[in-house]
Each structure stands twice: as structure tokens, then as C-alpha cells.
Amino acid sequence: MRVRLLMLSIATSILAVAPAAAQRPAPGGGMPGRGGGGATASNGVPAVQKVSTTHHTITIDGKQIPYTANAGTMVLYGDNGKPKATVFYIAYTRDQENAATRPVTFFYNGGPGSASIWLDMGIMSPKHPNMGPHGTEPSPPYALVDNPNSPLDVTDLVQVDAMMTGYSRPAPGVPASDYTGERNDVSMFGQFIRDYLDQYHRWASPKYLFGESYGTFRSAGLASELQRSEGIALNGIMLLGTVLDFQYIAPSPTNDIAYSTFLPTYTTTAWYHKKLSPSMESETVQQVAQQSREYAFGDYMTALAKGNALTEAQKTAVAQKLAQLTGLSQKFILETNLRIDPGTFRTQLLRDQRETVGRYDSRLIGINGNAANQREDYDPSDVAPSGAFMSAFMQYLHNDLDYKTNLQYYMGGHTGMWNYGNAGYRGYPNEVESLRLAMAEDPYLHVMVGAGYYDMATPFANAEYTFRHLGFDKTYMDRVEFKYFKSGHMAYLNQASAKNLKADIAQFITSTEHGGTASH
């Protein structure tokens, strides 16, 4: 997924930060994540509504589910009533149900600047590519097969592509930069959702957001936007590969918190590759994660806060403990000043085997041209699904959904610099307060947080730390539930995890579609 960015690094200028890569940054620069990079220049595309409607059947859990797919573009209008842009979407609606009151979930990926093909082909769509074990890359040509884990049996689904991704384009004369920023992006999604509810008569439906990677950041801002600007209340928000505060995934000499948030993922990764002691290897991934979690946010964070005030004996004690939890040598850890950068960890853990580990899924391994490099030549977990997903998506779109266009489907890399605006007003971009306000104003709003034990793009401990600091009141945490997967950033690539994720989605929607329990 060379184009699916999600926060690889935080740019120096926060108000005009490059996209956070949920995958490898595309040419032109970017942060950690699939998407950004490239220029925002666009000649524009005539804003025309074009929808292809087709009918299908899929078998889920032994039951035949008839559904209608609408693939096309929706025109967005400016305040002057003139067409301003078109947004590409695919809506999957179960037939023989009361669409007016059936749950509907709007889903999207991140980047920023990534199309939503990943969630669509990964878990949502009734069809998907046939991936290898644990989400490894299959050999071409790629097969399009039925997806037994699509949540279409419990909720209607609407894929939405952000501007300058997929087939979403501004109208002629409208600069793409009108949409390539945190606030404009949220406003665009809010307008699309409002217009979709109008056009398809879905105002009475229980409403959900599902975002992955930067899509989680978008969801936090969008929840507040929908309530305050559009009058739309949500039943629930589902997050996968969460980052709501960039500080927690951007370790640096002046930001010690992120070293703590990454440590538990270093431990689970080392455990998977059998780099820990025999006694720790005999434990479960959950057990070693908990050991590391307790140290990361206890003695380790305290030690980092002391900085140069640490004695040599204290440094040695910390290095010994980190060596136990990471599989790295005590000497190497001392050389890093007790602060292990995630990129360095990915190249160092298996250096004796001349291998690197993946960023999006640290179970997957790669090979550097120079085994002494401190950075990966490529991310094996990024490359694995790209070809299969694109091939399967185009087969499905053209052959099954009968959607044709002369435009190129932008997987990512066309949004350019991303303006974080008010989201970065205190230094690092964050939307934590937006989510807190949305939950405060709507006591029925619930949140599900999905996290992979082997996700080194948005480590699970970063999400835990975020929600432990959400509102500092039990009324918030009572409505937040965590789900963990033995997988990476894209939990659905592993079919066992995909099955668990589908069950979690179904349970979450079933428990909240009638309002759930209010928290005051």
C-alpha cells in the first residue's frame, strides 16, 4: 500500500503538515499513513451525478442476503448553489428490509489522502480478494471471491472516498485545497452524509461511522460536525488503527510519551518472532502485552521523565528491563538513550537474520539490500495487499457493479500538503476534545476501538492512553469498548481476525442501534 499513508512522522510545521501515512508516503512527501504527497493541483471534473444500480446475493453465516449496490458520484453544492465537487461512493443496501429504519454505516480510510478501497475490499464489501495466510501477498493473478465476513447482514454500508481519492474530484475552477485539510475534509464528509440521508430517505436509520487510521481522526471531528452543523446524531463510532492525538505516535527527544506507547507493541512483536526469554515466550500475547503495558506507563515513563537526572545504575536497570521486553541487546538500548525509535526497532529486531519486520503488521518480514541499514527499504506489510486489493476492486467495480468512467481511481498520493488548522492548535494535531464534546452532548453515543497487537503504525497502547485521558470521567469510558486482534493495522487481512472483527461489529450495532444506555 505504497499510497495509503497514516502518520510516519510529524512534520515541523503543524498548521500545514504533510499527510500522516497509514502506509508508505507517496512521492512528494508525507507522514505515516497511506495517502498524502503529490500536488493539490487539479483541472477539475464536471460535477455530474452518475450512479450505477445493480442487484446481487451473498451468503453470510449460511444465509442468503440479497442486496442492491449503488456505485457512483454525488454532487456537492457550494453556498451559492453551484456544483462544487463530486464525491464517489458505493452503497450496499440489504433488500427485503425496511431501509428507512435499518442501521447504516458510513466507512472510510485515512491517510489523509487514501481512498477507502482498503476497508471496502478488506471487510465491508460482499466481495474481496483471496489473500494468503495472515494477510500475506497472494500470487497473481488475483481472485475475487465472496467475503463471508461482510457486516452487510447487520448494517447497510456506504463507502465514501475523500476528495482527490477514488473518483472524488473538485469541479472545474475549484481548487483541490478547498478539501485537503482537517476542517474542510470533515465538512465535506458531513455534507455528503446529510445529502445521502436526504437522497436515500435514511434519516430514521441508526447511524454509524467506521474509520480506519486517519479515518479514526476524521471520525472524532466528524461526530462533532454532524451534531453541531448538520443536526445528525450518531448511535456509534467504530475505530480501527486509532490515532486521535499525533503526539502519541511521534517519538522524539522532546516527546517521551510515544516511546511508552510503542513499547507494548515492541514486546508483542518480539514475542511473535520468538526473541523473548523462554519464560515470556511460554505466555500468551495478552500476558506479555500486559507486562509491557504496566512497565511502559509506570517505571519506564518515570525514568524517561528524569532525563539526564538518571544515574548510571538507573540507566542500566532500565536498559536491562527493556532488553527483556524487546529482545534487543542491553548495549544497543543504552546507545539509543533508552529511547527506541519504531523504525530502528523494525530493522534491529531480526538483524541477525538479515530481515526486517513490517510497519503495518510486524509479523511480516522483509529483506533490506544493505543489512546494516537503520531504515527499511520497503514495508513488507504495506506491499502485500496493494496489488490484490486494486485488482479485485476493479474487477468488482467494472464487472459486478457496472460502473465505468474514464477517470483514474486514485488509491492515494494526490492530496498534497494537509492543513490541520485548529486540530493542531496546541502543537500536535489531535481530535480528542472533539470526540469528548460529541460524547458529552450525546449521552447515547458509543465508541468501539479495534486494535491489532502487531500494529506499529498506530500502536494499541497509544489508543489506550488516549481514552484513559478522555474527559477524566466515568461517563465517557462507560461507553467505550476495546477489541483486540492478533493482527496488524489492517486487522481484516488475517481471516481469523476478520471473523472476530465482523462479530464485534455485529455485537456493537445490535447493542446500540436502539440507543443503547445513556450515560450522564
Q: Which of 243, 267, 347 is nearest to 31 (CA)?
A: 243
Is the CB of residue 482 less than 8 Å from the CB of residue 293? Answer: no
pLDDT digits (tens, 9 = 90+) for 243-252: 999 999 999 9
pLDDT digits (tens, 9 = 90+) for 181-196: 999 999 999 999 999 9
C-alpha cell read off for 143: 481472485
Which positions ≥6 away from 308 have C-beta within 8 Å? Answer: none
- pLDDT for position 142: 87
Mean pLDDT in residue range 434-455: 96
Shared domain for 331 and 401, answered yes or no, is: no
At residue 466, what is the residue type? T
- pLDDT for position 33: 52
Is the CB of residue 356 less than 8 Å from the CB of residue 363? Answer: no
Angle at which helices 460-468 and 257-272 cross, to 10°: 140
Domain that holds residue 220: 40-246+387-512
String of b and e for 161-200 (b: at least 16 CB within 10 Å)? bbbbbbbbbbbeebebbbbbbbebbbbbbbbbbbbbbeeb
Integer Cα distance of 65 and 377 in angstroms: 44
Integer Cα distance of 397 and 402 in angstroms: 6
Does residue 9 surpass a pLDDT of 60? no
Q: Which of 430, 431, 491 is nearest to 460 (CA)?
A: 491
Number of domains in the chain: 2
55 within a domain of the structure (yes/no): yes
Q: Which of 158, 229, 154 is nearest to 191 (CA)?
A: 229
Does this model's pTM top 0.75? My answer is yes
21 within a domain of the structure (yes/no): no
- The CATH number given to whatever domain includes residue 468 is 3.40.50.1820
Is the CB of residue 357 less than 8 Å from the CB of residue 269? Answer: yes
| Helix, coil or strand: residue 91 | strand
Integer Cα distance of 71 and 73 in angstroms: 7
Shared domain for 62 and 186, answered yes or no, is: yes
Q: Which of 337, 368, 132 is nearest to 349 (CA)?
A: 368
Of 380, 414, 432, the one marking the end of a domain is 380
28 within a domain of the structure (yes/no): no
Shared domain for 258 and 393, answered yes or no, is: no
Shared domain for 342 and 419, answered yes or no, is: no
Of 380, 403, 422, the one marking the end of a domain is 380
Does residue 28 surpass a pLDDT of 50? no
- pLDDT for position 35: 56
CA distance between the termini of the chain: 42
Shared domain for 261 and 241, answered yes or no, is: no
287 within a domain of the structure (yes/no): yes
Does residue 512 surpass a pLDDT of 90? yes
Helices (runs of H) and strands (runs of E) counted in the chain: 15, 16
Shared domain for 368 and 407, answered yes or no, is: no
Provide φ and ψ at 445, rounded to 5°.
-80, 120
Shared domain for 340 and 413, answered yes or no, is: no
Strand-strand pairing, 356-357 and 365-366: antiparallel
pLDDT digits (tens, 9 = 90+) for 189-241: 999 999 999 999 999 999 999 999 999 999 999 999 999 999 999 999 999 99
